[in-house]
Amino acid sequence: MKTDATITIIGVPLDLGAGRRGVDMGPSAIRYAGLSRRLAELGYQVIDYGNLVTPMVETIPLPPPDARLRYLEPITEVCERLADQVAKVVRQGITPLILGGDHSLTIGSASGSARGRRLGLLWIDAHADFNDEHTTPSGNIHGMPLAVLTGRGHPRLTGLAGRVPAFDPAHVALVAVRDLDPLEREALRASPISVFTMHDIDRRGMAAVMEQALTVVTTAPDGFHLSFDLDVVDPRTAPGVGTPVSGGISRREAHLAMELIAERGALQSLDVVEVNPILDERNATAELAVELVLSALGKRIL
């Protein structure tokens, strides 16, 4: 870890992409858990840009019940502004840390980080987020960002990095997935994305899976972006998430994954998403999010 390195924090209190309210309060919960102070203790210079302005559901028209891309226009507008802000931070040589908010925001954060450079993409999530408007059972855009970033989706979203796809699927790894929609599963099987399910982790162990996933994403020449959805952790440990699914990774498996990321030394940007304080217990999930960010950025036990 470079003790003079700078981290910029950007909050994105967005919940338009999700089917359940509450993740818009995630950035505040993560900050309240001591993120800036603990990053500073680790040796980083911290700049907090505050929260990106995002619309509230109550202030915009409801989409029709059969909408295939719910809230497309406001989500696109937020992701465009986020991509611009992240790209500006990257040009200054600063590492951006984006706090969510639902997972649709990663369309903006990852696209902005990938502008002008070729990054890998490490997606750690209980879900693949690989639907598009033709496969989605819900129309919720937080189930689509990985598809968008690898070139499948609405053209308003796929081009935010300045090229399509924003990420070469051959440089993308999905880790710890355990809940797939039927058509999403078919699309993922046909994709060159490297997929490591909970079955792989159970059989091979987190260390072996992460080493292989990191090899995939670091074949890109300019490092990689990490997108970490807290619902990848078992809900007994992380109850305050947007879409909980039983049978997730443990606290220590999550920390090991982050520690291995730090050891590679190729992390260029990261986002942490889907913390839902409404469903949390004494802010435990937000506190875990802070701990995992610290591990990804170099904190060690000894």
Q: Is 142 a catalytic residue?
A: yes
DSSP E strands, the chain: 6-12, 45-51, 95-100, 120-124, 172-177, 194-197, 224-229, 267-273
Binding-site residues from annotation: 103, 125, 127, 129, 229, 231
Set 15, 102, 127, 154: catalytic member = 127
Set 125, 132, 253, 280: catalytic member = 125
Q: Is 24 a catalytic residue?
A: no
Binding-site residues from annotation for Mn(2+): 103, 125, 127, 129, 229, 231
Q: Is 231 a catalytic residue?
A: yes
Set 15, 24, 103, 271: catalytic member = 103
Set 24, 102, 229, 259: catalytic member = 229
Q: Is 291 a catalytic residue?
A: no
- Judging by DSSP bridges, how do beta strands 120-124 and 95-100 pair with one another? unpaired
Q: Is 127 a catalytic residue?
A: yes
Q: Is 229 a catalytic residue?
A: yes
Q: Is 103 a catalytic residue?
A: yes
Q: Which residue has the tokens 């900050």?
A: 31
Q: Is 125 a catalytic residue?
A: yes
Set 129, 184, 200, 280: catalytic member = 129
Q: Contact, 71 vs 58, CB < 8 A?
A: no
Task: Tell which residue, 59, 52, 47, has the closest CA to residue 26.
Answer: 52
Q: Which residue has the tokens 């840009």?
A: 49
Exposure string of 238-250, with b = 16+ CB inside 10 Å and e = fewer, is bbbbbbbbeebbe
- Omega into 101 within 30° of 0, i.e. cis? yes
Alpha-carbon span 81 to 158, nearest angstrom: 14
Annotated catalytic residues are 103, 125, 127, 129, 142, 229, 231, 274
